[in-house]
Amino acid sequence: ARNVRNGLMVYEKIERISWKQMRENMKKAKGCCGKLSCVSDWIHSKRHAGEWPQGTKEGKCWKFLIKDLTSKAWKYFAWLLLRKLMLAAIMALTIGAVNAGCAVILQVVDLTVVFSMSPFSDSAFNISEIFGALSNLSTLILVALPTLLGSTPDFFSDFSIICIALSATVAAAMLAVVGPVLAIFSGASTAVFSCCASSTSAQLGGSTDG
């Protein structure tokens, strides 16, 4: 936080590439590899909000820790700590309908905070966090219904509530598995694009010399 405050580490937003601009870049690009590179750049600009440059010693040192976060992440993590403290206070100081109502309100606030802050640079992780908060809110409402209204709708069985509660965990696990695979594919694609571009340049240079 001190390095960010002193300007030693700056979060730079990535310029969004529109679909129209991507199509124009593809028309200007030469060869199949060049066109695929334009598609890769478009996907990257849509998925990632920004990045932390490594222009300083501090940037190189800490990028491994904060590369997936935005400059607002510290506010979100401060909220997570505050939420845990507030939830502990609700569980300890309230009972019955007041307890259930306060817990639901707290979860609504949590969903609002996650949706408004978007603490992660990768939009996939932000969607996963929002889905997790929504899943927790849905589960909490269903669990609180007997206390607030006296009963739970018949079509919501205990098994369905468990499935709703675990859905966010399953989604996060799938993202954790798919994420590295996509990263490897992206890195391999970038390497292939660079190799093809270098090879094309060398061939053009050779033909010019000839």
The pair phi, psi for residue 14, each rounded to 5°, is -85, 135
Please report, as a single letter, which amino acid is at residue 37: S
pLDDT over 90 at 49, yes or no: no
Residue 139 CA, chain-centre distance (Å), reads 22
Please report, as a single letter, which amino acid is at residue 122: D
Task: Write out the chain in H/E/C secondary structure.
Answer: CHHHHCCCCCCEECCCCCHHHHHHHHHHCCHHHHHHHHHHHHHHHHHECEECCCCCHHHHHHHHHHCCECCCHHHHHHHHHHHHHHHHHHHHHCCHHHHHHHHHHHHHHHHHHHHHHCCECEHHHHHHHHHHHHHHHHHHHHHHHHHHCCCCCCCCCHHHHHHHHHHHHHHHHHHHHHHHHHHHHHHHHHHHHHHHHHHHHHHHHHHHHC
Query: In this structure, are residues 104 and 137 in contact, taking their beta carbons and an 8 Å threshold?
Result: yes
pLDDT over 60 at 74, yes or no: yes
Per-residue model confidence as pLDDT tens digits over 86-109: 999 998 988 888 888 899 999 999
pLDDT over 50 at 209, yes or no: no
Instruction: Label residue 186 exposed, middle or buried (CB < 10 Å: 0-12, 13-18, 19+).
Output: middle
Instruction: Label residue 105 exposed, middle or buried (CB < 10 Å: 0-12, 13-18, 19+).
Output: exposed
Rounded average pLDDT over 59-76: 76
Per-residue model confidence as pLDDT tens digits over 157-167: 778 888 888 88
How many Å is the Cα radius of gyration of the chain?
Answer: 24
The pair phi, psi for residue 13, each rounded to 5°, is -75, 145
Highest-pLDDT range among 3-7, 59-63, 122-126: 122-126
Whole-number mean pLDDT of the chain? Answer: 76
Please report, as a single letter, which amino acid is at residue 26: M
